[in-house]
Amino acid sequence: MLLRIRISILLFITPILADYAWQDQLNAREDWQKYIRSPPISTVRPVRVLGEYTRGNVTNPEGLLTGRGSTILTRNGTALNTTWAYADPYDTPPAIVVDFGQNIAGLLSIKFGGAYNTTRGLPGIRLAFSETLQFLSDLSDFSRSNNVSYPTLATSKLTREGETITPGSDQIAVRHNPYTWTAERGCEFQNKVCNDGLHGFRYVKIYLDSLPWDAPYTSSYGRVSINSMSLNFTGFLGTADTFTGYFESSDDQLNQWWYDGVYTNDMCTDTFRLSDTDPRRAGSPTLVGKLVLHDGAKRDRDPYVGDLAVASRTSYVSHDTSIATKNVLADIADHQRDDGWLPPASINNYTLPLYDYPLWWVACSYDLFMYTGDVDYITKYYPNLVKVLDTFYPSTTDSSTGLLDKRLGVTAGYGDYAFLPRNGPVTYYNALYVIALDNAASMARYLGHESDASRWSARARNVSAAMDSLFDTSAGAFYDGICGDVPCQTHAQDGNSLSIVSGVANSTRAKSILSYLSINNARPYGNSFYDNDVIGPFSQRVYAFISYFEIEARFKTGLADSALEEIRRLYGWMSTHDPGITTWEGIGPDGTPYEDGFTSMAHGWGTGVVPALTNYILGVMPSGPGFSTWSVKPFPGDVKWAKGRVPTPKGPINVGWTRDATGFFLSVTGPVGTKGVVSIPVENGTVFYDSMIVDGRMDNGYMSMAVEGGGTHSFTVRYEV
Ligand SMILES: *[C@@H]1O[C@H](CO)[C@@H](O)[C@H](O)[C@H]1NC(C)=O
Ligand SMILES: *[C@@H]1O[C@H](CO)[C@@H](O)[C@H](O)[C@H]1NC(C)=O
Ligand SMILES: *[C@@H]1O[C@H](CO)[C@@H](O)[C@H](O)[C@H]1NC(C)=O
Ligand SMILES: *[C@@H]1O[C@H](CO)[C@@H](O)[C@H](O)[C@H]1NC(C)=O
Ligand SMILES: *[C@@H]1O[C@H](CO)[C@@H](O)[C@H](O)[C@H]1NC(C)=O
Ligand SMILES: *[C@@H]1O[C@H](CO)[C@@H](O)[C@H](O)[C@H]1NC(C)=O
Ligand SMILES: *[C@@H]1O[C@H](CO)[C@@H](O)[C@H](O)[C@H]1NC(C)=O
Ligand SMILES: *[C@@H]1O[C@H](CO)[C@@H](O)[C@H](O)[C@H]1NC(C)=O
Ligand SMILES: *[C@@H]1O[C@H](CO)[C@@H](O)[C@H](O)[C@H]1NC(C)=O
Ligand SMILES: *[C@@H]1O[C@H](CO)[C@@H](O)[C@H](O)[C@H]1NC(C)=O
C-alpha cells in the first residue's frame, strides 16, 4: 500500500502540483465585472457640462449636474425681431452642451425649475442630440424627421411627408411652474412644438430658442431654469447580475472590447415600438411590443437579418436574450415571398430587395438552433428553409456552372449588406450559399430529413468546386464578379473571408488569401472592403461587420497573431475615437464615420470581437444543437491566459487556460448530459488528462480528447525544455 502511493506520487507529483498552482492562478482572476459598461440602473444622468460649448447668458451651468442650484438660461430679447434669431449676432441664444459620458439610447427627461416669459409666449427650449462632438450642431446628427423638407418662414407650411415633425431639433414650450418634461414623440400643441422622442446619443445641446413656425406657443426669449436631466435607458440593462457568459484574459484591451461590444449590442436590444423605429415604413404591426435586436441604437432601429449574423452571436454568449433573435427570424419567415425570397427586415413593408440576406436568415437560424437548441423554431420554419433554398436560389443559379449569378431571375437590381454594385458569379454570394447549404443540411439531418440533407450537401460541394473558376491565381485571392465579360480586376474582403469560413478554400489557399488581404487591404483602422476602387470608392472603407468573418478566417487558419493584430487595429481605433466604447456601423477614409453624422456609432453588427474572443481565444463552440456536443479549442496568439463562461440550455461551460515557459494548462467543466472535445495546443512534451499521461494523435499542432459533461477535467502539457 505504502509503496503504491509512493510510486504514484513519484509519477504524478509534478503535474498535480502544477495543476493546482495553475488552477489557483486562474481562480484568483475574477474581476471581469470591472469592464462592464452598462449604467447601474436605467435612469442615467449626464456626467459633465462641456464648458467650452456654453454660449450666451447662462448662470450656474453645472447646477443641473450637482443639484446645487439650478442652471438658468436667459435671453432678454432687446431686439423685437421675430425672424430667425440666429441671424442676429447680438442675440446669442444661451446654450449648454451636456455629456452623458458614453453613448446611450432612450427617452430624455428634463426637470424644469420654472420659466419666466415675455409677452411673446412661453420660452422655447430646443435640443440637438449627437453621438459625436464632430457632428454636434443646432440640429441632431440624425433625427427621424430630418430626411424631408421642413417649412421655412418662406413656405410657412408644414408638409407632412414621411414621419417629419421637426426640423431635426426637438422643441419644448417651458411652463411657468416647476415640472418634469419627458420626450414623447409628438407635438405639444396640435402640430406645433414637436419632438422626435427617443434618441441614441452621447451629447445633447440645450438652447433657449424657438421655431418661428411654433409661434405663438413659444418664443425665443425669456428665462428658463433647469434643475436636473436624466435619460430612461430603453435597451437591455446589462448589469453584472445579467451576464450568463463572460470573458477575461491576460490582455486588458481585449477584455474591455469584449464588454464594449456587449454593451453596444445591449443598446440595440430593445422593444420594437412604432414611435422610434426607422421611419422608412419599417413600423411593422407584427413586431410591435416584441424584444428585437435593432441594427443600431440611433438608426436604422430596425432588425436586419444580416446584422444578426454577428449581433445574435454576441447576445448568445453574453445575455439571456435569444428571444430577440427568435422574434426577428420568425417574423422574417412569416413574410416570405411566394418565390421563396425572404425580406431582410421590415423596412419598406418587407420589400427592400437584398440578395444575400435570405442566406443570412438560414445561417442565423442555424446559429439559433446550435446555441439554444430551439427545435420548435426550426421545425415550424423548416418549410421556409426548403422554399428559399429550393425555389428562390435555384431561380438565380447558372445551370451551366451551378453558381449563383446575380444577373439571373429577378435579382439584377438587388443589393446586399453594403449595396455594393456588383454582378455575375460574385464570390461572396456563392461562399455564403455554401455556408447556408451546409447549415441547412446539418439542421435537416438533426430533424431526420435525410434526402434534403444529402441534396443540400451535394449542392454545397458542387458550388464549392465550381468556385475554383472564380480564383485569381496570379493574386492568390478570389475575384469579385463580372465586369463586362471578364472577372472584375478586384478582390473583396467579404467573399475571400467567407471562402475560408465556409471551407471552400483549403489551407493553402486560405493562407494565400489572408496574406493578400494583409498586404493590400490593411488600413490603420481595420481591413477594407476592397483592395482597389475598380467597382466603387470602397478601398478605404471598413465595416467591423464583414471584418468579423476575416478575423474568424484568420483564427480558423491558425493565424491567431494576425487575427489579434486586425482586432487591435479595428477595435483599437473605434475605442479611442469619439464616442468611444461603442462599435460603429462603418468607417470611411482616414478612419472617420463613413456617412458623417448619419453613421450609427453603436451598431450591433460591429460587435464581432465578442464571439471571436469567446469562440477562438477562450475556444468554446457548439458542435451539436443547444451544445448537446461542444468543442474547446483555444487559439492563444500572444494571450497568456483566458477564462470565461459560455451559457448553454443545460447549464454553463466554464473554461480556463493558462501557460508559461514550462507548459500549458486547461480546465473545463461542461453541463451534465453533454459531451465535448477538448483540443489543446501541443508543441512538444508530455500531455496529461486529469493527471493521466495521454498518448494521442496530433493534428496541426493540437491533441484532441473526448470529455463528458458533469465534472471538471484538466489538461496539462509539460514542455520538454
Ligand atoms: C443674465 O441673466 C441673469 C439671470 O436671469 C440676469 O440677472 C442678468 O442680468 C443677465 N445678464 C445679462 C448680461 O443679460
Ligand atoms: C438685455 O441685456 C443687455 C446686455 O446683454 C442689456 O444691455 C439690456 O439692458 C438688457 N435688456 C433688458 C430689457 O433687460
Ligand atoms: C431682424 O433681423 C434680421 C436678420 O438680422 C434683419 O435682417 C432684420 O432687419 C431685422 N428686423 C428688424 C425689425 O429689426
Ligand atoms: C407668458 O406666455 C403666455 C402664453 O403665451 C401668455 O399668456 C402670458 O401673458 C405671458 N406672460 C408674460 C408675463 O408675458
Ligand atoms: C430620404 O428619403 C429618400 C426616399 O426614401 C431617400 O432616397 C434618401 O436617400 C433619404 N435621404 C436621407 C439623407 O436619408
Ligand atoms: C422608462 O421607460 C419605460 C418604457 O417606456 C417605462 O415603462 C418606464 O416606466 C420608464 N421609467 C421611468 C423611470 O420613467
Ligand atoms: C404591407 O404589405 C401588405 C402585404 O402586401 C399589405 O397588406 C399592407 O397593407 C402593407 N402595409 C402598408 C403600411 O403599406
Ligand atoms: C455543378 O452542377 C452543375 C449543374 O448541375 C453542373 O453543370 C456542373 O458541372 C457542376 N459543377 C461541378 C464542379 O461539379
Ligand atoms: C488546395 O487547393 C488548390 C486548388 O484546388 C490545390 O492546387 C492544392 O493542391 C490544394 N492544397 C492542399 C493542401 O490540399
Ligand atoms: C517545447 O515548446 C516550448 C514552448 O514553445 C519551448 O519553449 C521549448 O523549447 C520546446 N522544446 C523543444 C525540445 O522543442
- pLDDT tens-digit readout, 493-552: 999 999 999 999 999 999 999 999 999 999 999 999 999 999 999 999 999 999 999 999
Q: What is the mean pLDDT of residues 370-381?
A: 98
Q: What 3 state SS string does 90-123 have?
A: CCCCCEEEEEEEEEEEEEEEEEEEEEECECCEEE
Q: How confident is the model at residue 464 (pLDDT cuts 50, 70, 90)?
A: very high
Residue 690 backbone zone (phi > 0: left; psi -120 to 50: alpha; other: beta): left
User: Is the CB of 87 inside a 6 Å radius of any atom of ligand 10?
Assistant: no
The answer to whether residue 13 scores a pLDDT higher than 80 is no
**Is 70 exceeded by the pLDDT of residue 9?**
no
Check pocket membership of 72 for ligand 1, CB cut-off 6 A. yes
Please tell me the chain's helix, strand, coil percentages from 3-state DSSP, rounded to the nearest 5: 35, 25, 40
Task: Please report how many Cα atoms fall inside a 13 Å half-sphere around the Cα of residue 194, on the Cβ side.
Answer: 22
Q: Is 87 in the pocket of ligand 3 (CB under 6 A)?
A: yes
For ligand 1, whether the C-beta of 59 sits within 6 Å is yes
Q: Determine the Cα–Cα distance for residues 512 and 476; give it in Å rounded to an integer.
A: 5
Instruction: Report pLDDT digits (tens) over 559-598.
Output: 999 999 999 999 999 999 999 999 999 999 999 999 999 9
Count CA within 13 A, CB hemisphere, residue 265: 34
Lowest-confidence region among 169-173, 384-388, 630-634, 699-703: 699-703
Q: Which atom of ligand 3 is nearest to the CA of 88?
A: 5
Q: What is the pLDDT of residue 90?
A: 59
Q: How far does residue 662's CA lie from ligand 10's centre (Å)?
A: 8
76 — pLDDT class (breaks 50, 70, 90): confident
Least confident of 68-82, 564-578, 690-704: 68-82
The pLDDT score that the predictor gives to residue 117 is: 77
**Of residues 85 and 75, which shows the higher confidence score?**
75
Q: Between the ranges 78-82, 90-94, 147-151, where is the mean pLDDT highest?
A: 90-94
pLDDT beyond 80 at 153 = no
pLDDT in the model for residue 22: 79
Q: Assign 714 to helix, strand or coil.
A: strand
Write out residues with Cβ below 6 Å of ligand 5: 147, 280
9: three-class secondary structure by DSSP: helix
Ligand 4 near 117 CB (within 6 A) = yes
Task: Quickly count helices (H) and strands (E) in the chain.
Answer: 16, 33
Confidence band of 162 (pLDDT split at 50, 70, 90): low
Share of the chain above pLDDT 70, in %: 93
Q: Do 557 and 571 contact (CB within 8 A), yes or no?
A: no
Output the pLDDT for position 720.
85
Ligand 4: centre distance to CA 195 (Å): 22
Q: Is the pLDDT of residue 161 over 80?
A: no
Q: Which of 345, 350, 385 is nearest to 366 (CA)?
A: 385
**Residue 147 — pLDDT band, cuts 50, 70, 90?**
low
pLDDT at 164: 82
- Asked if residues 189 and 165 have their Cβ atoms less than 8 Å apart, the reply is no
Confidence at residue 119, expressed as pLDDT on a 0 to 100 scale? 72
- The mean pLDDT of 599-625, rounded to a whole number, is 98
Give the start-end residues of each E strand in 515-609: 522-523, 526-527
The CA 123 to ligand 3 mean position distance, Å, reads 20
Residue 138 to residue 125: CA distance in whole angstroms: 12
Q: Please say whether the beta carbons of 574 and 583 come within 8 A.
A: yes
Give residue 419's identity as a one-letter amino acid code. Answer: F
More confident residue, 653 or 25: 653
Instruction: Evaluate if residue 12 carries a pLDDT over 80.
Output: no
Question: What ligand 4 atom has the least distance to the C-alpha of 176?
Answer: 1
β-pairing verdict for 192-195 and 48-49: unpaired
Give me the residue label for grid cell 471552400. 504
Distance CA 171, CA 211 (A): 8
Look at the pTM and tell me if it is higher than 0.85: yes
Q: What is the percentage of the chain residues whose pLDDT exceeds 90?
A: 85
Question: Pick from 277, 381, 268, 248: which is nearest to 321 by CA?
Answer: 268
**Gap between the terminal Cα atoms of the chain:** 34
Ligand 1 in reach of 354 Cβ (< 6 A): no
> Under a CB-based contact definition with an 8 Å cutoff, are residues 512 and 477 in contact?
yes
Q: Measured between alpha carbons, how far is 31 from 21 in angstroms, rounded to an integer?
A: 19
Assign 6 a pLDDT band (cuts: 50, 70, 90): very low
Ligand 10 atom with the smallest distance to the CA of 684 is 1
Displacement of CA 707 from its chain's centroid (Å)? 33
- 426-443 per-position pLDDT tens digit: 999 999 999 999 999 999
In contact, 572 and 547? CB cutoff 8 Å: no
Helix 450-466 and helix 427-447, axial crossing angle in degrees, nearest 10? 160
Q: Which residues does 119 contact at the CB level (< 8 Å), separation at least 6?
A: none
Contact between 358 and 341 under an 8 Å Cβ cutoff? The reply is yes
Predicted confidence (pLDDT) per residue in 259-268, tens digit: 999 999 999 9
Instruction: Please give the pLDDT value at position 89.
Output: 53
Strand partners, 104: 201
pLDDT at position 114? 94
- Which pLDDT value is given to residue 155? 44
Considering only CA atoms, which of 627, 614, 620 is closest in space to residue 373?
Answer: 627
**CA separation for the pair 490, 462 (Å, rounded):** 24
Statement: residue 675 has pLDDT above 80: yes
Q: What is the pLDDT of residues 305-345, one digit of tens each?
A: 999 999 999 999 999 999 999 999 999 999 999 999 999 99
Per-residue pLDDT of 216-261, as tens digits, reads 999 999 999 999 999 999 999 999 999 999 999 999 999 999 999 9
For residue 268, which of 46, 584, 520 has the smallest C-alpha distance?
584
Rounded to the nearest angstrom, the distance between the alpha carbon of 620 and the centre of ligand 10 is 26
Whose Cα sits closest to atom 14 in ligand 5? 147
Confidence of residue 456 (pLDDT cuts 50, 70, 90): very high
67 pLDDT tier (thresholds 50, 70, 90): confident
Confidence of residue 120 (pLDDT cuts 50, 70, 90): confident
